Chain A
Amino acid sequence: DAGVIQSPRHEVTEMGQEVTLRCKPISGHDYLFWYRQTMMRGLELLIYFNNNVPIDDSGMPEDRFSAKMPNASFSTLKIQPSEPRDSAVYFCASSQGGWMNTEAFFGQGTRLTVV
């Protein structure tokens, strides 16, 4: 397996525009996590899915953020409208069986810059 694949690797957009980040988890993994990483706040859990169903979205900062997982092999994180403070590296991770004694495999991240 090629691992967790995220696209794009880099995204630069203007304030107010819609941004969609994409993630392909490792085949067979039933958990998918979206994280955001900044120098100030570290790695923050935004939302996670189990078997394509959102379980906990309490980390999603605002209604401008939404995430979907239409099938086991694809997830999106959308920001609409984007703001400069959304600039960060967004990571997708997947695991088999949750986070108890299992490894979360991370993608390479999408570096988002909102100007």
Chain B
Amino acid sequence: TQLLEQSPQFLSIQEGENLTVYCNSSSVFSSLQWYRQEPGEGPVLLVTVVTGGEVKKLKRLTFQFGDARKDSSLHITAAQPGDTGLYLCAGAGDDMRFGAGTRLTVKP
């Protein structure tokens, strides 16, 4: 079982601020995904990273996969209230397991 640790667990910031959340593991993953979950809904895929060192950008969101494919980060620039939600990382190995998530609140 590959364990994924996400930090911080909770994050509350003001609109316009930048933030970074982390996903770490001692296991190597074939790929890693980031999902966002809103209240009352299931998680929705944001991005998949595959190659060590890979960086992907999705508008104001920047995702990076660690060189050793054991960790990843999500950076949000100029956060907006619409970014509020639970951010989950999921690692693909023998199966797909999720971290506990970072609960982000962006205040207007």
Chain A residues packing against B (C-beta within 8 Å) = 4, 33, 35, 41-45, 48, 56, 91, 93, 99-101, 103-104, 106-109
- Inter-chain contact total with CB atoms closer than 8 Å: 54
Interface check B30, CB cutoff 8 A: yes
Given known A93-B42, A106-B43, A106-B44, contact A101–B98 (CB-CB < 8 A):
no
Interface residues of B in 69-108 (CB under 8 A from A): 88, 90, 92, 95-101
Q: Which of B18-75 contact A (CB under 8 A)?
A: 30-31, 33, 40-45, 48, 50
Q: Is the CB of A42 within 8 A of B99?
A: yes
**Nearest 7 CB-CB pairs, A to B?**
A106-B42, A42-B100, A99-B96, A43-B98, A103-B45, A99-B92, A106-B43
Find out whether the CB atom of A43 lies under 8 angstroms from the CB atom of B43.
yes
Known contacts A91-B42, A106-B42, A109-B42: A101-B96 contact under CB 8 Å: no
Q: Which residues of A contact B50 (CB under 8 A)?
A: 101
* Known interface pairs A42-B100, A43-B98; A108-B92 also in contact (CB < 8 Å): no
Q: With A43-B88, A101-B48 known to touch, is A48 a contact of B95 (CB < 8 Å)?
A: yes
Interface size, chain B (Cβ < 8 Å): 21
Residue of B nearest to A40 (CB): B100
In the bound complex, CA of A109 to CA of B37 (Å)? 12
Max count, chain B CB within 10 A of own CB: residue among A4, A103, A107:
A103
Nearest residue in B to A111 (C-beta to C-beta)? B40
| A42, B48: Cβ atoms closer than 8 Å | no
B31 contacts which of A101, A106, A109 (Cβ < 8 Å)? A101
B17 to chain A: closest CB distance in Å? Answer: 25
B46 — nearest CB in chain A belongs to which residue? A103
Q: A45-B97, A103-B48, A108-B40 are in contact. List 5 more A-B contacts (CB 8 A).
A: A42-B99, A93-B42, A99-B95, A100-B92, A106-B41
CB neighbours (8 Å) of B42 from chain A are: 4, 91, 93, 106-109
CB atoms of B40 and A104 under 8 A apart = no
Q: Given known contacts A100-B31, A101-B48, A101-B50, is B96 in contact with A45 (CB within 8 Å)? A: yes
